[in-house]
Structures are given as C-alpha cells and as structure tokens.
Chains A and B, each alone.
Chain A
Amino acid sequence: MVLPVVFLLSAAALADEIFLIRLLSFRFWPHFVPLIVSQAMLGFGGAGLAMHLLRRRIEKAPVTFFAWLVLLAAPSFDLAFRASQAVTFDPFLLLWEPSAWIGFGGFFLLLAVPFFLAGGAIAVPFAFRFGEPGPVYAAAFAGSAAGAVLALPVFFLVGTESLLRVPLALAIAAALFVLGVPAGRLYRGRMAVCGASMLLLFLSPAELRLSPYKDLAVARRLPGAKTLASRSGPSGDYRALFAGGIHSAPGLSFRFAGDIPPQAALFFDGEARGVVPENGGKSPPAYLDGFPFVAAYRMVDRPAVLQFGLRGTEGILTAARNGAASVTVVEPAAEFVALVRSDLSGFSAGLPAAMPTEIRTEGPRNFLAREGSRFDLIEVSEISSATYSSLGIHATGETYLLTREGIRSALSRLTEKGVIAFSGWLKTPPRESVKILATLRLELEKDDPVPASQRIIMVRGWGSFAILARRLPFTGEERVRVERFCGQTGFSIVWPPDGPAAEEGAGEKGLRTAVRRVLAGPSGGREGELFDLSPATDDSPYFHRFLRLRSLPEFRRLLGSQWVPFVEWGVVFLLASLAVSLVLASVCLLVPLAVARLPGKAGGIYLAAYFSALGMAYMLIELTFLKIGILLLGDAIRAATVAIGGFAFFSGLGSAVSGRWESEATMKGRVFPGIAFLALAGFLFLSLSARFLLPMGETTRIAVFIASLGPAAFFMGMPFPSGLSRLAGAAAPAIPYAWGINGFFSVAGASLASVGAMWIGFRGTVAIGGILYLAAGGLFPRVGKTPGS
C-alpha cells in the first residue's frame, strides 16, 4: 500500500509544481518561478519539521496518521489554489508597502499546503519505519519522474485553467489506497473526505485572476474587448484579443501621419507578444515602415530574411512591404505559430501570398546549427522591450541567442554582404544596446583585423534603437542610404559618429558616449561601469542581467534619489527568495535543537551538515543541467520535463539499490567521489559538445542529454536513503529532522543554483555541487553517531 501511495502523491506534487509555474506566470510574472520551487521544498521541509516536533503523538498510530495526510492532501491540490486566488495582494505594492507582504505571505503559505501534506505523507513511512527507506525513496523519485513526464502531454490536452485537475486526480488515486487502512469509527470520515475530493473534479475550474497590471488584464478591460482565439501547450498560454482601444506600434516615427489599422493583440502568458493588423496579409500597412530596424532593409535589395521570434504578423508584413525575396521565421512555440497562422487567418487575411514564408518551430540555436542556408538579412527584434524587460523581470531568463556563441552562430549564416539587425527599446543609462555592441565587437574582430567600428551602424528613434552589423565594412553609399532613411523618419545615427545628430539632450549624449566607448575604446575595458555590460556566454547566458554585485554599495547610495532604472526585479526576487529560504533553513536547524532535542546518537551538527549539503548539492546539479537543457532542447518546459524526469528516474533507481552500497567504505570511497566526478564530467560533455549536439534530431539530443545526467543522478539517489538507514539504526526519531533539513536546504539550493549560474557560470555551479557531495562524503561516517565517537 505504501509504495503506490508514495508514487502517486509524488507524481501529484511534481505535476502541481510544474503546473503552478505556468499558472503563476500567467497570473503574475515569470519571476514567481523560483518561488514555486521554494514553496514545494518549504512544504516538504516544513512537514519534516512538524513531524519532528509531533513525533511522540504520531508514534502512537503512524499508519492512521499517514492515511489522513494522504486523504487531506488530495483536495488541497485544488482548494489551496482556489483559496490563494481569494488572497488579495498587489505585487506592485510589495515594492514599498510593508503590509502588502502579509497578503503575499498568506498567498505563499497557502500554495505550500499541498506540498506540506504530501511531503508529510511521503515522510511518515521513512520516519516511522513502516517502509524501507530505499524502496520508499525510489517510489518517491519514480513518482516525481512520472509527474514530470505526464505534465508535457497534459499541457497539450488541458486548458490552462484546468491543469490542476491532474494532480487532484493523482492524489485522489493515492487516497483510494488508504481507504482500506483500519480506522475504526473514523472510516466514514475518510470516505467523506475522499468523496468530497472526487466532487472537486466535477466543479468548474477556478477562473484565473490576473494581476491588474498584466497586459492581458488591461486589454480585457478595454471597451468592446473580445477574445478571438486561444491556444495553450508546453511553451505557454497564447491568446488573441481584439479591442478598439488597441493601437500598438512601439517606437513608431513621429513623422508618420497616417492611421494604424485595427489590430488583434497577442498575449503570451498574459504579456503582450506582438499584434496582427486586420487584413494585413492583403495589403501590409504603411506604418510598418516607420521603425528604426527598417534601416536594415535599406542596405540590401530583395533580401532573403531570417527572423527570430514571431511578432504576430508584423515582422513578416514588414519584410513584404520592403521587397523581401523570402522570409524564414524561427519560433519555438508551435502553439503560437498555429494561433497566428491558422486561428487568426480570417482576421489577418493570411500571410502575403507573393512572398514565400516559412515558419520553423524549433529553438533558435538548433536552427542556426542545423540550417545550411545563408541569409541577406537576419533580424533579432526586441532584445529589450518597452515595458517589463525595463524592470529587469527577465534578468534571470536564459537567452542563448544573445550569447557570444549565439551571435557567432548567427553571423556564420549571413551571406557575404548580409546584415544582422538587432533592435530594442532604449534605456537610460543604456544597457542592452551597449551589451550587444560589445558582443558584436568581440565576435567580429575575433578572426578579422578590420575594426568592428567600421562594420556597425546604429540608428536611434525617440525610444528605440537598431544596430546593423556585418562582416564587411559598410560603404559610404550605404551610409548615405541610412542617412536618407533617418531624414525621412526623424531618427538619428548614433554610430558612425559623423552622421547627422538629433538635438542632443543628456540622454542622447550619454548613449553616444557609451557607444563610442564600447566601439572605439579598449576592448573589454568596462571595469569602471555601474552595470555589467560584458558579453554573455553559453556558460552564463543571462543577457538581461546587468546587476554588478560590486556596484551594490553605489546603488545603495543612490537609493532614495534614483531608483527604477537601477533595479532588476527578477534578480531582486531571486535574491529575496534565497535570503528567505536561508533564514527558514536556519530556523529549521535551530528550533528542533532548542525545542525537541535530537537523540544523542543522531550525529548532531554532522547530521545537520550532511543533510543540508545533500539538499543543496542535489538542486545545484539538477537545476544547472536543466539550464543547459534549455539550449540543447530548445525550450524551458521540455528541458524541465526531461531534466526533472531524468534525475528523478535515475535517482529512484539509485535509491532502490542503495541498500547494497551503503557501507561506509563504499559510500565514502566510491559513491560520493563518483557523484562529483560524474556530475562534472556529464556537464562538461554537454557543454563542450553543444555545437555538435545542436544540429542533431530531437530524439538524439534528448537521449544524449539523459545519458549525460543519468550516471550522476543514479548515484545521487543513494546518499539520502543511506543516511536515513544509518539513522534508522541509531537514532530513528531524528529522521523527520533530517527530512526537514534536506527540504529546507533544497529550497536554498534552488535559488543558489540560479545565483551561481548568473555570477560564476554553470561549470562553477556544478563544481560547487560536486564539492558539497565530497564534503557530505566526509560527514557520512558521523551520521547516526555522537560527535565524539
């Protein structure tokens, strides 16, 4: 009975975790993602702590307690989310209204309830010894793997609002197993709880309440707003909405005096993601000529165009208006492509018939590695958007196309006179624009002595910029073409500096100075700058992370006089969640020691250090593999599914056989060093062979990815049950404490993995995980013994 219950509950908990990531990204922003991982681990850790504190009561009837936890966990997967939607907190007010944190805390704790109950149910068999740690732990891992694998097809089959039905159903299945546990007069109560849980399956799903600041929430409130189409899948929730009040043309020249036709706005997880002009397919609207990046079309005649990211139909229509010979769009989200191409074809009048258009649904780096054709114009649009990227919300997101390796790969796909064009929103002080210039300079000058400054042109509008680059120097005639374009649109040339300048405000001057420094100054000499503008690499692919830790004292000095432009909220949330998890972990370490003393033979501080190291190290390694999986597999959800599923599966196998490996000599001499070696070796293999793997088919890439993580994951499944086995023999009451410590430090590890990836790179982060495992190996003999023994 125990193993299937643990399996099903683990599957439910992991599916819940993955689906909550989508639901909270939709309701709020993606920076809530680390929060979800933290919530899950907090729930599991809290369950361990609670059991440690209540162990004398639970010891009297552990099986009954187990059954009740399973029964209560089932409805909580649905009810906790419904209740969390009733909690009103305004993420905007969190910035400066201390009382808003109370609502936020309530919201956070409510969503941790299912993890607390499921974690408690899974921990009881370990802690109160009605299951062998190895098999139970294996069932937990196998369930997690199943939950992760199950999540992928569910995204296709079930609408966003209904996703939580799946963990609810899995948990109800688990509950059915415990109905038969003898319980005397409470049997009816159990039946009632189980029946009520089943009824929840038939209730209509909770309507998702979006933050009032989400683009979709604002658009929905516009008079006459109506949803034209919606799709959802692993890559996101996509919706198309029409309202008379939608007039989107970010960065449009103020010289444009015509009208913008009616548009359908597109939303990805509730955030604006381009527009579709009505009937644009018949006649591309004139306003599309009024953006800085159109300068690129003045440099090449009848270009074969490659565009990264589908922006509704605007990118394609712009190419059609400007005489492109063909357009290839690379867009990883198949759901989004279907929405634009099929669902909105009536509204858009299709794509322009005269221009061949191909849309490839794969990751940008996979396409660049595989595709042999060359293009006259490659467009990378909106590397910084007008709204949320300016707040740094995306600072923690991996952007492999904008790394040195990504740009190198894109440059290799240009024809001899081909141009690559980057566009985005200007910030003050400038950031994305300067960072991309620094990257281009390094890559252009890598094998060619001609200064990059002769191969780059930068145009700015009143709010946006376009950077054009190519391998050959631009000719005088080409510069004249750009000047003519700027004359027509009112834009100005920032580089080369002899172009006609607009009226120079301080912002204009600041941009010109920064551009001059990065293109004509010493290469790589940006030490004195407030922001980190050094190029991103595949080992730390965070193009939108500008926060330089050593600038923090300066930011602190500026706090109160200047603010938003210096803050990256994605990083702030990440660091805040790390700080909170470390505080919680410390409390968890100290409270049991103060309130309910550990048995003398548990190992005291060594026990705490051992299980802390395991929790942290596992997350550091698993999440770093997940991050490189985004490069190899093309999108985050696929990478998460394969990485989490793969780690859970192989660790489950390791747990199942851990009993044969748990002698001190084997663990210390083979298992722990083996983990450190295999994790680093597997990661280095993926990292160093990425350019060979990227062109391969998806199945091959997944197989290689799993094969690289599998050996390390297999051994990583052993230290936890082996440690519990030692405790079971020497100090069984300490098991819940160990469970809790492990859970809390897993929370810290989840945040620390992102912090490490951003500031020391992937390889360094995996290495730290390996070192922590080696340290745990040193502590292993002392677990389950007194410090002096």
Chain B
Amino acid sequence: MFLRWPAIFLVLALSAGHSLCAAQEDPYLAARQAMVGDQIRREGISDPRVLQAMLEVPRHLFVPSGVRSRAYDPRPLPIGEGQTISQPYIVGFMTEILRLKPSDRVLEVGTGSGYQAAIASKIAQEVYTVEIFESLAARSRRTLSDLGLRNVHVRQGDGYYGWEEKAPFDAIIVTCAGGHIPPPLLRQLKNGGRMILPVGGPFLTQNLVFIEKSADGSVSQRNVLPVAFVRLLGH
C-alpha cells in the first residue's frame, strides 16, 4: 500500500516532464493531466497502472466532436443512441476495483464509446467488449484501431449473454446500467473472478455493485456507495 505513493508521484512527475514537448502535439494533454490529478488521484484512485492508463488514453477522441472541449470535465457526456461516456472518475473507480492484472482476460458489456475498454486494455492482456448498437460498435472499433489497441476485440451483439466463446473471464465490467445481474455473465466469470456493474438510471449512475466469485464458485456481492463515486470535482 505504502509503495504505491512513490509510484504515483513517479507517474505524475514523468508525465509532467513530458508535457512541455508533448503539449505541442496533443492540445488536450494538460487537460488530461489535470483530470488525472484533480478528479482521479485526489479522489482516492491510487493504482498507478490505472492512473497511467488514464494519462495515456486520449479521452477526447472517444467523444463526439461537438462536446470534445468538455471531454476532460468531471461529468458524463452524450455519445449518441441515448448512451453516454461515463465521467472519468467512474471509469477509474471501476477499473481499479477490479484489481486487473497483466494476464487477465476481461469482458466488457456495453462498449459505448470504447473508452473504458481502452483503459482496461492498457492493463489487462485481452479485452472483449460487446455493444448492442451497431453504430456505436463500429465507431468504437474504429477509434480503438486508430489508437493501435490491438488487444481489444469489439463485437456487436446483446451483451446480456456475454461472449460465450471467449469465456471464462477474470474480470467483467458492465458499463450500461441495468436492473439485475445477468445470469449468463455470472456463469462466464472465472472462479476467483470479479465483476462490477452499475445499477440505476441510464446516464446518471446511482450505485455500483461489486461481485466476487470465490475459488469454490460461490458468489458474494456488495454495494459500492454512491458517495464514493459520484464525486465530481477535486476536493
């Protein structure tokens, strides 16, 4: 736990060192660094791999051009089809709580913009992501490909049934709000696996539920408090 802090400072210091020259190429770099500093790290996300991933992935490329200037604001944004990209803190929180490892195979349900998959792909070995809306699946596939993220696999389909052929998974992230935990996803979760899913409205997430499947296959669940994840600004 204590070793994490030097790592975080190292990540941020390195990124700051790069910023002078990189800012000329990436006009959003400063905004991204501010996002990680103010919204993610200061709010309690401490996994250096998550912080590094969020520093590296250009969030502005995952949002429609009309709202690009707000891409690093602490809020969800519309991406079309009535769907949204989650606010940065939620993405960081959901990624961290899954305790992803470099060897993990991850299933994401609800690709949306592809941003969450991109973050997970920086940490895990393979990310399989399912999106029900063809237009979003096509757009996110293009964005992820343009960024060279070859370990993300996008499929258009009903994520409720997971991705049977690629199961089991070490971790499952459900990024679209639902009213129950799909039984097929529980079946596709490895023993010892973790799953996180939001519960509540379609764009104003109210609750996160964290599920763990023990080595013997029994399932336990706990709710993650909204006050822990609806924080907006850096306080």
Residues of A participating in the B interface, judged by any CB pair closer than 8 Å? 90, 92-93, 96-97, 211-214, 217-218, 221-223, 244-245, 247-252, 254-260, 386-388, 390-391, 426-428, 462-463, 490, 502-503, 505-508, 510, 560-565
Contacts and interface: CB of A to CB of B under 8 A. Distances in A.
Interface string B119-135: 00000000000001110
A254 B181 contact: yes
Closest 4 CB pairs of A and B: A250-B179, A212-B82, A252-B180, A387-B201
B204 interface: yes
Nearest to A464: B179
Contact of A254 (B133, B207, B211, B224): B211
Nearest to B135: A221
A251 B180 CA distance: 5
B225 A388 contact: no
Given A247-B180, A462-B223, A564-B204, 4 more contacts: A92-B84, A387-B177, A428-B227, A561-B232
B226 A428 contact: yes
A221 B81 contact: yes
B233 interface: yes
B160 interface: yes
B201 A249 contact: no
Interface string B69-106: 01001010010111010000000000000000000000
B151 interface: no
A730 B182 CA distance: 75
A507 B160 contact: no
A255 B219 contact: yes
Contacts of B211: 254
Contacts of A221: 81-82, 133
B143 interface: no
B181 A428 contact: no
B201 A561 contact: no
A390 B206 contact: yes
A92 B179 contact: no
A720 to B, nearest CB: 44
In this complex, the member of A97, A214, A217, A248 whose beta carbon has the largest number of chain B beta carbons within 10 angstroms is A97
Contacts of B232: 560-563
Contacts of A564: 204, 206, 226, 230
B222 A213 contact: no
Nearest to A291: B180
Nearest to B184: A259
Contact of B235 (A217, A260, A427, A561): A561
A563 B200 contact: no
B231 interface: yes
A150 to B, nearest CB: 35
B16 interface: no
Contacts of B231: 561-562
Contact of B183 (A259, A386, A388): A259
B179 A96 contact: no
B202 A213 contact: yes
Contacts of B73: 96
A95 to B, nearest CB: 8
B15 to A, nearest CB: 25
B78 A249 contact: no
Contacts of A249: 179-180
A277 to B, nearest CB: 14
Given A254-B181, A463-B207, A506 B225 contact: yes
A505 B220 contact: no
Contact of B78 (A90, A259, A463, A503): A90
A245 B186 contact: no
A245 B82 contact: no
A250 B233 CA distance: 31
Given A212-B82, A428-B226, A463 B219 contact: no
B202 A505 contact: no
Interface string B135-177: 0000000000000000000000010100000000000000001
A386 B198 CA distance: 11
A390 B230 CA distance: 14
A427 B186 contact: no
B60 interface: no
A386 B201 contact: yes
Contacts of B199: 386, 462-463
Contacts of B133: 221
B234 to A, nearest CB: 9
9 contacts: A92-B78, A92-B203, A97-B70, A221-B133, A247-B160, A254-B219, A259-B183, A391-B201, A462-B221
B221 A490 contact: yes
B10 interface: no
A562 B43 CA distance: 12
Contacts of A503: 220, 222
Contact of B200 (A258, A390, A502): A390
